[in-house]
Amino acid sequence: MWRISPSDKLDVDSVSGAALVKNTGTATVFHDIPGIGKTYREVVVNGSSNLSFQIGQKNYLTNAPDSSAFHVLVATSSGRETLKGPCSPLQLSAITNRLLPESYLKCGVGFSSTMLDVSAGEVFLVQSGFSIQEGLYACVITAKPQPSEVLLALSLADASVYVTVSHSSDQRKGDTQRILVPFLPAFYLYQSELVFSITQLTGVLRVLGVEKVLEKLEVQPSSPALTVMPPERSLSMPGLVSYVVGVVNFTSLQQMPAPAFVNVSCALTAQRAAVAVRALTGECAPGQCREVGVHHRLASSYQVLLFTLFAVSALTAVMFLAHNAFLTRLQTVPVVYVPTAAVPQTGYSYPASSQHERNRPQLGLWSVRR
């Protein structure tokens, strides 16, 4: 059995003898060997006033969903020395399950820019750890699940992340140190689904992100029935790129047994996203759909034919109404009739005063109405 005196200097596992420093100073370690005897040894516990940092394999932080954890390794010395030593499996188990050295380390994060409306605590989960293989403390940072509003707000962020570290030993109580880590924000997708029909064979996929992320962006369809055009950058909004997604074979897209997707990924941040593709049904009867290009041209020709028939019908109706109006107007115009000789009228007598006037031809105006 192992024990320590005084107990405020070291935390000792009584079974394995593994010990964790709590405070600096001198302590005596006792070891009782049943049936054999007792032994003891005086040890001096030295402290360090500085913490040193090492970055793991990743040299930047990202808020991309499902991204791998980011590690900041922390040494309680100059960095050239570690807490790694020859330990038995029993001692390793005691360090992991009982002594818990990571509980003495406190880690935090914060954005370097005050212009962001999102705090780093909303984006990252920070945990303290201890690596037995390295013999070093560690701050383990992973991205939390984030709503689309947060992804949109951070997609163009120009900032870094401060990782703050403190240790609870006597020499460093209240002493917090920090390291600045580069930050690469996740890209943001404006669409989660693209819908196509026989009359709508193209769609636009818009992606928002910083320049480094957009340079490594890959957009690939999961089906040969789809095609993706090269990206087009927006001149009015920096950081926005558009991909035109087209349907090569609408029939094949409709009849696919599994849903189709447009996969968007960034090799730099390891972010992956899939935009679902849906083909509307009922646009054409089974067996009537042909190759998209031909069918689309036929549909366009059918629309042109309908427009032409409508225009011809309208022109014919206008001409018919104009012709009827002209005939009606012609029938109401007075007709002037000038006879060459007098026509005797029934019931009319000539005056007797002038024979000459009787012999003069009679002129008259007649209005004939039908």
Shared-domain flag, residues 197 and 171: no
pLDDT, position 173: 58
Shared-domain flag, residues 166 and 253: no
Is position 110 within any domain? Answer: yes
Q: How many residues does the chain have?
A: 370
Shared-domain flag, residues 127 and 246: no
Assess whether the previous peptide bond of 6 is cis (omega < 30° from 0).
yes
Assess whether the previous peptide bond of 257 is cis (omega < 30° from 0).
no
Q: In whole angstroms, give the CA distance from residue 26 to residue 4.
A: 11
Shared-domain flag, residues 148 and 218: no
pLDDT surpassing 50 at residue 200: yes
Q: In whole angstroms, give the CA distance from residue 215 to residue 198.
A: 33
pLDDT, position 308: 75
Entry pTM: 0.69
Domain termination site, one of 155, 184, 213: 184
3-state secondary structure of 207: strand
Domain termination site, one of 126, 160, 184: 184
pLDDT, position 253: 93
Average pLDDT taken over every residue of the chain: 82
Q: In whole angstroms, give the CA distance from residue 298 to residue 328.
A: 45
Q: In whole angstroms, give the CA distance from residue 240 to residue 229.
A: 15
The average pLDDT across 237-259 equals: 94
What CATH number corresponds to the domain at position 233?
2.60.40.10
Range in 32-46, 73-87, 264-278 with the lowest mean pLDDT? 73-87
Is position 142 within any domain? Answer: yes
Is position 322 within any domain? Answer: no
3-state secondary structure of 95: helix
pLDDT, position 158: 94
Shared-domain flag, residues 179 and 265: no
Shared-domain flag, residues 274 and 213: yes
The average pLDDT across 190-207 equals: 95
Q: Which residues pair with 164 in a beta bridge?
A: 108, 178
pLDDT, position 175: 77
Nearest in space to 274 (alpha carbons), one of 223, 219, 229, 195: 219
pLDDT, position 370: 45
Q: What is the β-pairing status of strands 193-196 and 260-266?
A: unpaired
Residues 126-135 have pLDDT tens digits of 999 998 888 8
Residues 111-158 have pLDDT tens digits of 999 889 999 999 999 999 998 888 899 999 999 999 999 999 999 999
Instruction: Give me the number of domains the chain comprises.
Output: 2
Identify whether the C-beta of residue 21 lies closer than 8 Å to the C-beta of residue 7.
no
Shared-domain flag, residues 234 and 251: yes
pLDDT, position 330: 61
Shared-domain flag, residues 234 and 208: yes
The better pLDDT of the pair 261, 304 is held by 261
pLDDT, position 82: 76
Is position 335 within any domain? Answer: no
Is position 291 within any domain? Answer: no
pLDDT, position 73: 92
Shared-domain flag, residues 136 and 254: no
Domain termination site, one of 132, 165, 184: 184
The better pLDDT of the pair 296, 339 is held by 339
The better pLDDT of the pair 309, 231 is held by 231
Output the CA–CA distances (angstroms, integers) from residue 323 to 315, 332, 333, in the order listed: 12, 15, 16
| Burial zone of 225 (CB within 10 Å; 0-12 exposed, 13-18 middle, 19+ buried) | buried
Is position 118 within any domain? Answer: yes
Is position 172 within any domain? Answer: yes
Is position 24 within any domain? Answer: no
The average pLDDT across 248-259 equals: 92
What CATH number corresponds to the domain at position 87?
2.60.40
Residues 6+ apart with CB under 8 A from 216: 266, 267, 268, 269
Q: What is the β-pairing status of strands 193-196 and 271-279?
A: parallel
User: Which of 47-56, 141-150, 337-346 is the most confident on average?
Assistant: 141-150
pLDDT surpassing 60 at residue 346: no
The better pLDDT of the pair 74, 348 is held by 74
Please give the residue range of the domain that contains residue 250: 188-279
pLDDT, position 38: 87
Shared-domain flag, residues 54 and 175: yes
Shared-domain flag, residues 204 and 90: no
Shared-domain flag, residues 194 and 127: no
Nearest in space to 182 (alpha carbons), one of 163, 208, 207, 155: 163
